[in-house]
Amino acid sequence: MSAIYLNRDQMPTQWYNLAADLPTPPQPFLGPDGKPITPDMLAPVFPMNLIEQEVSTQRWIDIPGEILEILSRWRPTPLRRARFLEKHLKTPARIYYKDESVSPPGSHKPNTAVAQAWYNKQFGITRLTTETGAGQWGCALAFACKLIGLECKVYMVRISFDQKPLRKIMMRIWGAECIASPSSQTNSGRKILEEMPDTPGSLGIAISEAIEDAVSDKSGKTRYSLGSVLNHVLLHQTVIGLEAKRQLAQAGEKKPDVVIACAGGGSNFAGLSFPFVCDKIQGADLAIHPVEPTACPTMTRGPFTYDHGDTACLTPLIAMHTLGHRFVPAPIHAGGLRYHGMAPLVSQAIVEGLLEPRSYDQIRCYEAAMLWASTEGPICAPETSHAIACVIEEAIKAREEGREKVILFNFSGHGLMDLLGYDKYLSGHLTDYSLPDEVLQKSIEEIKHLPKAPAKKSGRWPTKAKS
Ligand SMILES: Cc1ncc(COP(=O)(O)O)c(C=O)c1O
């Protein structure tokens, strides 16, 4: 069988929360005074029902029936076997991928967009603001807001705004307003434009603008929605891994030996891998690889320390792997991987030695995407190509070792709106961007004054979230 499907009634009805099982729970966020903030201090930015999920250490959290109903438009997603790539590589490995490209916007992002829009609506919010890199998240939130009945404004990183014009049209079809970031509509955008008029923008800058927009709405009916990084976002994505586990069992596989996904802020990686990270904590033998670009090497070269999640320092301090909040990554086509930080839960799992991050150059990833398209067929998103580059490396390793490994990866999205990058690759105009050490050190130097994250000390949120 090349694809394993589940019935609608086999969809997971609870999300899995890794915070319950990590040997060291993630550190609390810190305020400007360096002290842990209380959950209610996040209330101007997020609705309290999502803040409760953010700070929760409960292992299983029920998925409301109305959210399941919306997700059932495209879930459960298929688990497919990449037989043609296996054959091409002459590998004894069995390669499976969870196909998240089948959602209406084309990626895993609506798994949390729907949940976030639903919880905001329950809380009486009428409008959401957000950032988007490649445009996948902006499309996903626009789609979710349309279905649930909320207004939506998207700040899209300028380089992607120019590289991916079709995504803007998708957002408009689903009723959202999309503008290029940095923009002249916010204080943080204007300040950056004054300092760097030609900046390609970054997710960190777009996040600053979207938060500023939300908190400055006097009506109190606007909140901000983040497409990755935070615990509740990762939580909503765990339907991916929970379904995959069931599907692998249906395919007769006991367990994967290698689990792989690309990681920008960490949400699709966490979604697929966290249920398997739980197995690893309990003693299962498997390797788990989050994959990033060499141009934005947060996990492989960035320190684990406290830093802001955005450029204008509007977010609290978060303990994570980071390249520094003022770091502006080179304009690679995988816009969704151009983020200076990494999810605190993913970062903590790296510190615990549960994950082994990898990084690959842009051209190598396009080569992997081309091989995928010419063997399996689908045209993958530039972000997803990073996972595929790692899958190919692992499959070749299995051939060299003569080992029958089971490799599982997340096909996080299709690349049908990202063809300009392929065009550049095909015409030989694509370049690699290696990050010089001096540039990295300069960026990290700028956050040296911020508190250090204790790597292995138990940290807890100071008080329970109010409901
Ligand atoms: C298709 C696709 N995959 C992966 C990512 C990376 O995000 P995350 O690390 O949150 O999964 C993005 C982000 O935009 C994306 O669009």
Task: Sketch the domain layout of the chain as residue ranges.
Answer: 14-61+109-231, 75-106+232-445
The residue whose C-alpha atom lies closest to atom 6 belonging to ligand 1 is 264
SS3 244: helix
Please tell me the predicted confidence (pLDDT) of residue 164: 83
Of 349, 381, 352, the closest CA to residue 366 belongs to 381
Please state at what angle helix 203-215 crosses helix 187-195, rounded to 10 degrees. Answer: 150
Q: Could you tell me if the CB of 298 is within 6 A of ligand 1?
A: no
Cα 228 to middle of ligand 1, angstroms: 8
Measured in angstroms, how far is the CA atom of residue 263 from the centroid of ligand 1?
7
Spatial separation of the C-alpha atoms in residues 278 and 17, rounded to whole Å:
10
Average pLDDT over residues 108-122: 98
The whole-number average pLDDT for the span 111-136 is 97
- pLDDT of 339 reads 93
pLDDT of amino acid 175: 98
List pLDDT tens digits, range 222-259: 999 999 999 999 999 999 999 999 999 999 999 999 99
Residue 335 Cα, ligand 1 centroid: separation in angstroms? 8
Residues 368 and 259 sit within 8 Å (Cβ to Cβ): no
**Can you tell me the mean pLDDT for 388-410?**
98
Cα(219) to centroid(ligand 1), Å: 32
Residue nearest to atom 5 of ligand 1 (CA): 336
| CATH, domain range 75-106+232-445 | 3.40.50.1100
* Residue 107 near ligand 1, beta carbon < 6 Å: yes
Judged by average pLDDT, the poorest of 64-68, 331-335, 366-370, 381-385 is 331-335
Residue 466 has pLDDT above 90, yes or no: no
pLDDT attached to residue 453:
85
Q: Is the pLDDT of residue 457 over 90?
A: no
Q: What is the mean pLDDT of the chain?
A: 95
Which atom of ligand 1 lies at the shortest distance from residue 101's CA? Answer: 1
Residue 375 — very low, low, confident or very high, per pLDDT cuts 50/70/90? very high
Instruction: Work out the angle between the directed axes of helices 110-122 and 136-148 (0-180°, nearest 10).
Output: 40
Q: What is the mean pLDDT of residues 195-200?
A: 94
pLDDT for 54 equals 97
According to DSSP, residue 73 is labeled: T
Q: Are 132 and 152 in contact (CB under 8 A)?
A: no
Given a cut of 60, is residue 22 above it in pLDDT? Answer: yes
Percent of the chain with pLDDT over 90: 92
The pLDDT value recorded for residue 454 is 76
Choose the residue to mutate in 108, 131, 231, 269 for probing ligand 1, maximizing ligand atoms within 8 Å of C-beta.
108
Confidence of residue 456 (pLDDT cuts 50, 70, 90): low
Whether the pLDDT of residue 377 is over 60: the answer is: yes
* CA pair distance 313, 207, nearest whole angstrom: 10
User: Is pLDDT above 50 for 467?
Assistant: no
Summarised one tens digit per residue, pLDDT across range 126-151 is 999 999 988 999 999 999 999 999 99
The per-residue DSSP string of 397-464 comes to HHHHHT---EEEEEE-BB-TT-HHHHHHHHTT--------HHHHHHHHHTTTTSPPPPTT-----SSP
> Is pLDDT at 460 greater than 70 in this prediction?
no
In terms of Cα–Cα distance, which of 117, 132, 139, 16 is closest to 67?
Answer: 117
Residues near 306 by beta carbon (within 8 Å), at least 6 away in sequence: 27, 30, 317, 318, 319, 447, 450, 451, 452, 453
Q: pLDDT tens, 268-305?
A: 999 999 999 999 999 999 999 999 999 999 999 999 99
Q: Determine the distance separating the centroid of ligand 1 and the alpha carbon of 134, expressed in angstroms.
A: 8
Q: Tell me if domain 14-61+109-231 and domain 75-106+232-445 are identical in fold.
A: yes
> Which atom of ligand 1 sits closest to the CA of residue 413?
1
- Residue 349 carries which side chain, given as an amino acid letter? A
- Ligand 1 pocket residue status of 91, Cβ below 6 Å: no
Cis preceding linkage at 26, omega within 30:
no
Give 416 Cα–ligand 1 centroid separation in angstroms.
15
pLDDT in tens, 209-226: 999 999 999 999 999 999
| 106 ligand 1 Cβ < 6 A | no
Mean pLDDT of 334-339: 92
In ligand 1, which atom is closest to the CA atom of 381?
1
Q: How far is ligand 1, taken at its centre, from the CA of residue 412, in Å?
A: 7
- What per-residue confidence (pLDDT) applies to 134? 84
**Residue 103, ligand 1, Cβ within 6 A:** no
Which residue's CA is the nearest one to ligand 1's atom 1? 413
Q: Nearest C-alpha to atom 7 of ligand 1 is from which residue?
A: 264
> Looking at residue 458, what is its pLDDT?
47
Q: Measured from the CB, is residue 413 less than 6 Å from ligand 1?
A: yes
Rg, Å, the chain Cα set = 20
Question: Phi/psi class of residue 324: alpha, beta or left (left: φ > 0; alpha: ψ in -120 to 50)?
Answer: left
> For 34-59, b where at least 16 C-beta lie within 10 A, e where not — what string?
eebbbbeebeebbbeebbbbbbbeee
Query: Does the beta carbon of 421 lie inside 6 Å of ligand 1?
Result: no
Predicted local distance difference test score (pLDDT) of residue 372: 98
Q: Which residues contact 34 (CB under 8 A, 6 or more apart)?
A: 317, 451
Ligand 1 atom at minimal distance to the Cα of residue 335: 14
User: Domain 14-61+109-231 classified CATH 3.40.50.1100?
Assistant: yes
> What value does the mean pLDDT take over residues 150-155?
98
- Rounded (5°) CA angle 233-228-190: 130
Q: What is the mean pLDDT of residues 352-358?
A: 97
Most distant CA atoms of the chain, gap in Å = 64
Q: 136: Cβ below 6 Å to ligand 1?
A: yes
For ligand 1, atom 14: residue with the closest CA: 336
Region 433-442: mean pLDDT is: 95
